[in-house]
Chains A and B, each alone.
Chain A
């Protein structure tokens, strides 16, 4: 319901308050007048506050629900989402690997159950921990999330959580709340001529359009856990995922916009809640299936992570990945790449060790020798650098930086 248009009378009083005499002249009566005016203003605002703060209730979506009334709020939202989806399908950032997409679709279908036909999954190449669900059934996962997940159970929790948002129609509820919140903002603005409540107060009421509230996130977590259990996964994995990403979030420099979390900020509270909620004994992890699915793309995603050059977080991530039975050689190489870029005291030595570990564990990627050469050269160990570069160019005769490196070898 739209906010009532504030009557002239209220505004007239607010105005008269604004132009009242200086308080010092007649202290007590001025104070009384101020208090009365304040009370009136608060009464008016609180009427609006009450209507604004009530979160509208929205029914759960039924599977294969009938088409929407085109004039409805939901239809409008879905139209915009469909347009976004068209753009996304053409986007240069979309990962099109058929095998990986098939894996994600099948997993999502399993988790969505009866809602399977309504949901489409898109994998977007962005080095941040993010997954989002649109009210039109479009599920977007970013590659930074897949990089941080250790097994299928963890990924299943994330997807189940997003399906929860879809089924409970949280987007629609949020949109309805925003509309009523915005009425509050407008009311504050219109009333605000007096200075007690100014334009600044109205900013806070807006927030972002589609960020879900705490209760909605909790409800989606519960849905995710429920689906994990129903499908026989180990529900401890939800807590372990959040514990792992919280470790990365902890070292974030608060000044930088460098959080890896786009829409699901990690918190200790959430980690604890999910850890404590775990109930199953046993249950599938699906580690092998997951690793096989991402194997071909993982190298690219690690490269994207290094490119961010946010070393504190990357170091925590690589430390954790290094302890997993993943491709250890690959992780060693990227540790080398990270230290080489960070270049703190002692880092070139660390980089050299990491590249050598990579080579020793069977990593034959030419870039290992390139990185090794660059790090050695930075330390002035030119003879060793030379042999590393020789090996690099031998393994990568078409290297784009060949001409530059050959110049050093002369």
Chain B
């Protein structure tokens, strides 16, 4: 009855909607996904190095790298999110300060809060960030953290975040994968990417 078809379906926000959009665009446009080769490269201004190859299903400012499919492994790379923008670049209409938007002057602790709450409103459940520690992203001081959540079907996920936003705009990487097997499998490769970004 209404349970599965309620009049007001919770609109997917943030990267859930982004994922749907990517799906539609690729289905319709048949556009090719850029190949990300192993090695050093600059991604939207971020100089990094990856030991593995990936396929990029995203676009400038919102990269979506995957190896087996977004629900199995996803490395999102957001660059230069401005004050007032949604943390996952979702299009929100209405009042400029409502919803999970970035604001200039947020500390690392508050940015972590923003990312967690942004994920919560993307219909993910039991979202939490753990082990927050100082880190560097492209020479700027920021933080890293681990993530855990369940998708709405109940599959357990884990993730890693590397972020900096103390200079007026927010840039961050977020890796997510099912906890059972995929997260650990490519964890070292993602950590290597994070390390490559430290110096800048």
Contact = CB atoms under 8 A, between A and B. Distances in A.
Tell me if chains A and B make direct contact, with any CB pair below 8 A: yes
Given A343-B103, A400-B129, A84 B4 contact: yes
Contacts of A92: 125-126, 150-154
B15 to A, nearest CB: 16
A210 B120 contact: no
Nearest to B93: A255
A211 B103 contact: no
A343 to B, nearest CB: 6
Nearest to A83: B4
A30 interface: no
B154 A256 contact: no
Contact of B3 (A140, A255, A310): A140
Contact of A255 (B2, B94, B103): B94
B93 A404 contact: no
A5 interface: no
A134 B1 contact: yes
A262 B6 contact: yes
Interface in B87-142: 92-95, 97-101, 103, 105, 107-110, 112, 116-117, 120-121, 125-126, 128-134
A383 interface: no
A205 B117 CA distance: 37
A88 B108 CA distance: 36
A14 B152 CA distance: 49
Interface stretch (A125-133, A188-196, A230-238, A349-357): A125-133
Contacts of A253: 94-95, 98
Contacts of B131: 400, 403
A344 B150 CA distance: 33
Contacts of A344: 97
A126 B5 CA distance: 16
Contacts of B2: 132-134, 210-211, 263
Most buried by B among A126, A253, A309, A311: A309
A91 B154 contact: yes
A77 interface: yes
B60 interface: no
A401 B3 contact: no
Contacts of A378: 105
A312 B98 contact: yes
Given A93-B152, A262-B7, A309 B1 contact: no
A256 B93 CA distance: 6
A407 interface: yes
B121 A308 contact: yes
Nearest to B145: A400
A378 B134 CA distance: 19
Interface residues of B, number: 46
A84 B109 contact: no
B164 to A, nearest CB: 12
Contact of B94 (A81, A84, A171, A258): A258
Nearest to B1: A134
Contacts of B28: none
B5 A208 contact: yes
Contacts of A103: none
B27 interface: no
B165 to A, nearest CB: 13
Contacts of B129: 400
Contacts of A246: none
Interface in B146-167: 150-154
Contact of A256 (B1, B94, B100, B112): B94
A171 B2 CA distance: 9
Interface in A326-348: 342-344
Given A92-B154, A307-B121, A132 B3 contact: yes
B130 A307 contact: no
Contacts of B100: 309
A1 to B, nearest CB: 24
A111 interface: no
Nearest to A405: B109
Given A93-B125, A403-B134, A312 B8 contact: no
B8 A261 contact: yes
Contacts of B145: 400
15 contacts: A91-B152, A134-B1, A209-B5, A211-B2, A254-B94, A256-B92, A256-B98, A257-B8, A262-B7, A307-B117, A309-B99, A343-B97, A401-B112, A404-B107, A404-B109
Given A135-B1, A309-B98, 19 more contacts: A92-B126, A92-B154, A125-B125, A126-B10, A130-B6, A132-B2, A133-B2, A209-B5, A210-B2, A210-B6, A255-B94, A255-B95, A256-B94, A263-B2, A312-B98, A344-B97, A400-B132, A403-B131, A404-B109
4 A-B pairs closest in CB distance: A255-B94, A256-B94, A92-B150, A134-B1
